[in-house]
Amino acid sequence: MPDRHAPSVAPERPEAVTTPLVVAIDGPSGSGKSSTARGVAQKLGLAFLDTGAMYRAATWLVLHSDVEAGDTDAVAALVGSADIAIALDPARPTISINGTDVTEAIREPVVSAAVSAVATNLAVRADLVARQQSIIGSAAQGIVAEGRDITTVVAPEAPVRVLLVADPQARVARRQAELGERVTSSEVTDQVIRRDRDDSTVAQFTEAADGVVVVDSTHLTLSEVIDRIADLAPTSRPTVSTGASSSAVSR
Ligand SMILES: Nc1ncnc2c1ncn2[C@@H]1O[C@H](COP(=O)(O)OP(=O)(O)OP(=O)(O)O)[C@@H](O)[C@H]1O
Ligand SMILES: Nc1ccn([C@H]2C[C@H](O)[C@@H](COP(=O)(O)O)O2)c(=O)n1
């Protein structure tokens, strides 16, 4: 006979945890990935990961070392032992390598000209992909990650995957407008067209993989592109819980 006066204890219920949203954006140089990803992250209240900044920081380190960019083993060892700290706040993304803040330095034309040599080093890619997956997996509030292989390699299971494209002329013109007289038109063409050619030898960002939504920004303003991608985000997120079947809660 149960004791009617015993204090009642609620049965333990498995806690439902919302899975953080991951938005993956890839595309060629100048298609607007960084600006768009930052805007989407701000609009949806997510973190922001610029994976290109990690390749640029690795390149900055190589350029400031006595290692030759073509010495693949030495470059991989140098980058592999480096401490890369990237801030995920879309309002103020910063990046440091081995304690040096290189947020501004990695945008210099000298880094843009050399970055493909480091980004096509397969050992460096394996290292940075693993770091990126760890960052994405730890972003409790969800994250927008952009680069060249996010939809295909880094986060192929992301619920929102976008290939952001734009005509080559528009991409070159945008980059020229951004850099102004700091660079010649042939340097801009090198930064956009030659870099895409080299980078596409190790990452597939010219055609959308299965399930990836193509957004063409050629004739869209930045805010139109941000709205279009933000609208792809589900309004509810699945939950995971111990033993219970998955359900949805509001974002
Ligand atoms: N939809 C748009 N319309 C006009 N200009 C844009 C648009 N999107 C981005 N831009 C501008 O184009 C330039 C390149 O954008 P952004 O740096 O975001 O491109 P990206 O794809 O990240 O390039 P990269 O891969 O070379 O770093 C910036 O000056 C940005 O302000
Ligand atoms: N996921 C990524 C991100 C970037 N890269 C390479 C290709 C670019 O030349 C370089 C810098 O990227 P950006 O800042 O211009 O977007 O890094 C890559 O291979 N994979």
Q: 104 pLDDT exceeds 80? A: yes
Over residues 123-151, the pLDDT tens digits come to 999 999 999 999 999 999 999 999 999 99
Mutate to test the pocket of ligand 2, among 131, 179, 192, 199 (most ligand atoms within 8 A of CB): 199
Ligand 1, atom 10, residue with closest C-alpha: 32
* CA of residue 51 to ligand 2 center, whole Å: 7
pLDDT above 90: percentage of residues in the chain:
83
The one-letter code for the residue type at 73 is D
pLDDT value at position 239? 74
246 is in an annotated binding site: no
pLDDT digits (tens, 9 = 90+) for 197-221: 999 999 999 999 999 999 999 999 9
Do the annotations mark residue 52 as ligand-binding? no
Each residue's pLDDT tens digit, 45-60? 999 999 999 999 999 9
Using pLDDT thresholds of 50, 70 and 90, give the confidence band for residue 238. Answer: confident
Mean pLDDT along residues 96-118: 96
For the chain, the average pLDDT equals: 91
Position in ligand 1 atom list of the atom nearest CA 192: 26
Average pLDDT over residues 235-248: 56
Band (4; pLDDT cuts 50, 70, 90):
low
Confidence band for 182, pLDDT divided at 50, 70 and 90? confident
Mean pLDDT lowest among 14-28, 93-107, 119-133, 166-180: 14-28
Residue among 26, 86, 104, 115 to mutate when testing ligand 2 (max atoms within 8 A of CB): 115
Sign of the C-alpha dihedral computed for residues 230, 231, 236 and 240 taken in this order: negative
Beta-carbon neighbour count of residue 197 at 10 Å?
11
Instruction: Please state the pTM of the whole predicted model.
Output: 0.90
Mention every residue, 6+ apart, whose C-beta is less than 8 A from residue 146: 24, 25, 26, 27, 33, 34, 36, 37, 49, 50, 51, 52
Here the tokens at position 49 are 């990961």
43 is in an annotated binding site: no
- Does the annotation place 245 within a ligand binding site? no
> Closest Cα partner for 142 from 234, 226, 46, 38?
46
ipTM surpassing 0.90:
yes
Reply yes or no on whether the pLDDT at 160 is more than 70. yes
